[in-house]
Chain A
Amino acid sequence: MNKPEIVIIDDELPIRKLLEITLHSNDYSTRLAATAKEGILMVANHPPDMVILDLGLPDEDGHSVLKKLRDWYAKPIMILSVQSSEDDIIKALDNGANDYLVKPFRTGELLARIRSLLRSKTESDVATAIISINELQIDFSTRIVKRNNEILKLTPTEYSLLVLFVKNEGKVLTHHYILREIWGPGYMTESQYLRVFIAQLRKKIEKDPNRPELIQTESGVGYRFAFNE
């Protein structure tokens, strides 16, 4: 089988080199671009399985590159950014980025994110009625959620929240996105609902609600549903 191919658009040579070595040694093939122009052309000529895009490019703002790519490129795009500015990250996620990493990042984290992004793409095509995540079992046809074979009593909102997370496994969901999807556009600023229901859902599905493994908090940005394969 072919190695998954990743296009890296970053103007910093050391970062390109680091990513290239890390990805090659983990069985991905890479193509490298140093400018926005070069990167867009590279993705257009031969669309890769995934794009890693730096927000701070010399010739064009990363956000506008992201928008241009999203016009036609549907596969995962991960953002790299030096600024830990939450607004920047939220803007990128709203513009269609699938995930983000803030420099400096750890290699383990990078690889886990890439694996998760490439997997979620292939799994979304498969429609299954029942899925199992760690000790959790969700039956979409009967709306029954079990943990260690015990039925969990979830309220309708808790159930919708869980389904939204499972459908977007590995992806960061911004606060606004979740509020709009679950409660509707009128509730987009009612973040207290989200805090309360996340805490309640964690109490029911997590092994230790204070050290959540399934619903992870992305500080200032949103939540990510992730499970170890």
Chain B
Amino acid sequence: MNVFLLGKISKTLQFVYCFVIVASVSAVCYLFSTVIDYRVVALILLLAVSVVASLFDILPVLLAAVLSALIWDFFFIPPFFRFQVHSTEDRVLIVMYFLIALISGVLTYRIRKFEKEFVHKEEKANTIKLYNTLLNSLSHELRTPIATIIGATDNLQTQSNKLSVDHKNELLSEISKASLRLNHQVENLLNMSRLESGIIKPHYDWCDINEVVYSLVNQVEENNVQQKIVVKVDPQLPLFKLDKGMLEQILYNVLNNACIYTPANSLIRIDANCKSDALELIVEDNGFGFPQDEIKAVFDKFYRLKNTKTGGTGLGLSIIKGYVEGMNGTVNLQNCDPHGARFTIKIPAETSYLNNLKNE
């Protein structure tokens, strides 16, 4: 059982556990009480209290301390089955036992509390680090297009009569590209914050996977991509009950990512299969692939490959993961042979074949 989970179970259950542990340790000791000295039993009980202290909250631990002291007195210190203690030495021992059990209980509990605070602080430091990475990549990703737009419009407004028609057109096309880039980044950020806040709940409806894939490919191809996209989806694929919007976001981000980071004329292949009531989408390219040691980290928020060209916020792949997991699916990244990347996305879903429909 996970030790850290025990602190989270209900208070009553914690008391029950403490009671059971102390009682069963005492019972075992009692069985051997003819063989072991009652002073040794005290040490064993102390050990049990310390173990309890490292698992549970303070109140159940105090209960364990008091209970074990009483049990020790009642069952182990002569005269047996009475709370009286005759010898002075034993009186000192019982008081000492009680104090040590309390102190060890309280101390262990405090160490744990301190540890928890430490972990919390570390998490906070990580969040701040993530936040800084976000700010850095954002200020670059948003400022570059903004700078382009401001610069180009300044030129068009103040130097209008000095600019050649060609230059004017170039400036206008730069403004257009920059605004599309801004729009894409804002869209990504909004998606991320929606995912983070948990507002996005899948809205399941029947999807024609062929239709979704082809319309996404057409959409991506409108951005004048320099890669060749090949669709290899089985036309007889059943309908899947999925969130179509999420599926589109996933596919768009995978395709867009492939188009940004593979060299011109690369081949991007999309494959879709039905695998025992799950949709399996495979998108593979013959680009550079991912460095083997970084593959695990690429789905982390704001993670960017170490030797990557500028551009990108490190949000695209984490959004894919967010949406896939939103529909209880998995996403897997591998390098292909001889080079390139392969994304395998599996989403469990109800299916429906065309021939299952009632005839007209």
Q: A: which residues have CB within 8 A of B?
A: 86, 104, 155-157, 191-193, 195-196, 198-199, 210-211, 217, 219-220
Contact = CB atoms under 8 A, between A and B. Distances in A.
A18 B163 CA distance: 24
5 contacts: A195-B206, A196-B208, A196-B239, A198-B208, A211-B214
Task: Label chain B's interface by main secondary structure.
Answer: helix
B357 interface: yes
Nearest to A216: B215
B196 interface: no
Given A104-B183, A219-B248, A210 B206 contact: no
B208 A195 contact: yes
A140 B11 CA distance: 76
Contacts of A210: 210, 214, 231
Interface string B67-108: 000000000000000000000000000000000000000000
Nearest to A189: B205
7 closest Cβ contacts across the A-B interface?
A: A192-B206, A210-B214, A195-B208, A191-B206, A195-B206, A192-B352, A220-B245
B360 A157 contact: yes
Interface residues of B, number: 20
A86 B352 CA distance: 24
Given A191-B206, A192-B239, A211 B244 contact: no
Interface string B195-208: 00000000001111
A169 to B, nearest CB: 20
Given A104-B183, A192-B239, A220-B244, A199 B210 contact: yes
Interface string B260-276: 00000000000000000
A155 B357 CA distance: 15
Interface of B: 179, 183, 205-208, 210-211, 214-215, 218, 231, 239, 244-245, 248, 352, 354, 357, 360
B245 A192 contact: no
Given A199-B211, A220-B245, 17 more contacts: A104-B183, A155-B360, A156-B360, A157-B360, A191-B206, A192-B206, A192-B352, A195-B208, A196-B208, A198-B211, A199-B210, A210-B214, A210-B231, A211-B218, A217-B211, A217-B215, A220-B244
A86 B245 contact: yes
B5 to A, nearest CB: 39
Nearest to B354: A196
Contacts of B354: 196
Contacts of B210: 199, 210
Given A211-B218, A219-B245, A220-B244, A192 B211 contact: no
Contact of A219 (B214, B244, B357): B244
Nearest to A195: B208
Contacts of B214: 210-211
Nearest to A155: B360
Contacts of B208: 195-196, 198-199
Nearest to B355: A196
Contacts of A195: 206-208, 211, 239
B14 to A, nearest CB: 45
Contacts of A156: 360
B211 A191 contact: no
A156 B360 CA distance: 8
Contacts of A191: 205-206
Nearest to A200: B354
A195 B352 CA distance: 11
Nearest to B221: A211
A193 B248 contact: no
